[in-house]
Structure 1
Amino acid sequence: MHEASGQTRGLAKESPRLSKLVSQLAQCSRREADEWIENGWVSVDGVVVNRLGARVNPKAKIKIKDIASAHTSESVSIVFNKPRDLPGPPAEAGREAIAALIRADNRWSDDPTPLTFQASHLRGLAQAGKLEADEGGMLAFTQEGSVARRLSGGDSRLEKEYHVRVEGELAADGLDLLRHGLSLDNVKLPRAQVSWLSDQQMRFVLLAGKKGQIQRMCELVGLQVTDIKRVRIGSVSLGKLPPGQWRYLREDERF
C-alpha cells in the first residue's frame, strides 16, 4: 500500500494533520480517525495514506471508504500464552516488541471472538504485568488504561494463579510456611493459597509478587522449581490457548 508522501513534501509545518481533517469531515473522534487511516480507509487526492501523523494540504481532496462509517471503535484486550524460555517484552515495551508477539499468523484458530485483527489493535497496546524469561503462561495486553492499572498497579487485588513443578523434599512444616510465615528481603510475605496438584506439581495463588518470589519461597522449604506457568489472572483463565498463540478477551470476561 502506498503512502501519499508526495502530498506532504514541502508543506509548511503548520499544515494540518490528516487525522484532524478526517475527524472534522466525518465528525468522528481523533482516535477513530487514526484507526481509519491506519486501516487504509483514507485517501488523499486519490492516494491511500496509512501513516499516522501525516500532514496534508488543507485543500487536498480527502475520501473515506464506506466501511469506516460502519466501523465501531473499541478498545481491545489480548491474552497471550508465553512459551517458557521465550524472552518476553520488557514491562515498558514499545509497539514493535509487542507486534513481534501479537501477529495475525499466530492468533489462536479457536478464538471464539468475532473480531477481525487490525493494525489499529496494536496501537497503544500495553503489556499488563510481566513474566521472567524462564516462566511461561499468561500475559495480558490491553488498550484500556483502567485495565492496565488494575493488572499492574502495586495495590492490585487480582489473583494470579501459577502451576509450579518442583523437585526435592518439602520440609515438615513447609506447606504451612508457604501459605503464611515466610519472609523475603526482611519483609514478611502476605498469605498465599498453596496446594499440591500432583506429586511434583503445586498450585500457587498470589495477589502480588516480587521478582522470582515463588522460586525463592520454594527454596526456603527445601524445594527447587523446575517449571512455572501462570494459568489465570483474576477471573480470566488461560484455558486451552496453545503456547505461542493469542486470543482476544471475550465479551463475558473482565480483568
Structure 2
Amino acid sequence: MSETTRLSKRLIAQLGCSRREAELYIGGGWVTVDGEVIDEPQFQVDQQVVALLPGAKADAPEPVTLLLHQEAGQTAESARLGMTAATFSPAHSEGRRVLRGHFARLKCLAELQAGASGLQVYTQDWRTERKITSDLRKLEQEYVVEVSGEIIKHGLERLNRGFEWKGHELPPVKASWQNETRLRLALKNPAAGLIDLLCRSVGLQVVGMRRIRLGGVAMGKLPAGQWRYLESKEKF
C-alpha cells in the first residue's frame, strides 16, 4: 500500500507555495481531489489527482451570515450544531459552495422568543453583528402566532394602539389576522414573554409562534430545519 500524506503537504509540493497559502487554497474550496472539492488541509491523499480550480485565490473566505428556519423546541446552540452541508436548502444552492469554515465562529443574533420556531440569524461578519446589535431596538420583528380561544371585543384595536393590562404597560404593535387561528404581530425588540403576554391580554392562548422576518430580511420559503446564506442584496 502507498503511503498517504496530508492534502496541504501535497499541494505545497505541487505548487511550491507556502503552508499558509496551501491552507487558504484548501479552506477556500479551491482544491479538488479526483474532481471532488476537499476543504480539509489534513485530508489524506496518496495517488489521487490533486488540482486547483480555475480562478483559485489564496485568500481567507469572506465571512458569511446564515439564515436558519429553526424548529420549535430547539435552542440556538443545538440549532447551530445542526447546520451542515446536508441541511443547506437545495432551493438556495445555485452558485454557492458550502465550506466547513462557514460553520466556524458563528454568533447568534437577535435570538427567537423562547419556544418559537422560525428565522434565526447566525453570522461571522462583524458588520452584520454591529448592524443588528446597534439597531436591535428599532428593528421590526414579525411573528405568526398560532392561537386558541376567542379574542375579546376590540382586542385587535387594543393591540395596535397599546394599553395597560394587570400592571403591565403593553406597547403598540402591528396586529392582524392571517386566518382564523393565526395572528400576525410585528413589533420591535420584543422582551422575553411579551408575545404570550400580549395574546393573554386579549383573551388568546399561544399554541405556537414562528418568526418570519427580522428588519428587512424575511425567512422566505425556507423549510423547517434548513438554512441558506444571506444574499448581498438583503439588508437588515
* TM-score (ref. length: structure 1): 0.68
- Verify the 8 A CA contact 1:182 1:217 in the aligned structure 2: no
Matches within 5 A, 1:1-255: 22=20, 36=25, 38=27, 50=41, 66=52, 69=57, 73-89=61-77, 97=78, 99-132=80-113, 134-153=115-134, 155-183=136-164, 188-255=169-236
Q: Distance in 2 between matches of 1:149 and 1:185?
A: 36
Structure 2 gap segments, 5+ residues each: 9-17, 32-38, 43-50
Q: 1:242: Cα distance to partner?
A: 0.3
Question: Which amino acid is the alignment partner of residue 83 of structure 1?
Answer: E
Q: Distance in 1 between matches of 2:152 and 2:173?
A: 17
Structure 1 gap segments, 5+ residues each: 5-19, 27-32, 43-47, 52-64, 90-96
Runs ≥4 residues deviating over 6 A: none
Q: Distance in 1 between matches of 2:172 and 2:162?
A: 8
- Verify the 8 A CA contact 1:128 1:152 in the aligned structure 2: yes
Q: Distance in 2 between matches of 1:50 and 1:182?
A: 59
- Structure with more of its chain in strand, by fraction: 2
Question: Which amino acid is the alignment partner of residue 103 of structure 2?
Answer: L
Q: Distance in 2 between matches of 1:120 and 1:137?
A: 24
- Verify the 8 A CA contact 1:113 1:248 in the aligned structure 2: no
Q: Distance in 1 between matches of 2:95 and 2:29?
A: 21
Q: Distance in 1 between matches of 2:173 and 2:94?
A: 33
SS in 2 for 1:203: strand
Aligned length: 207
Could you tell me the percent identity over the aligned residues? 29
Q: Distance in 1 between matches of 2:220 and 2:214?
A: 11
* TM-score (ref. length: structure 2): 0.73
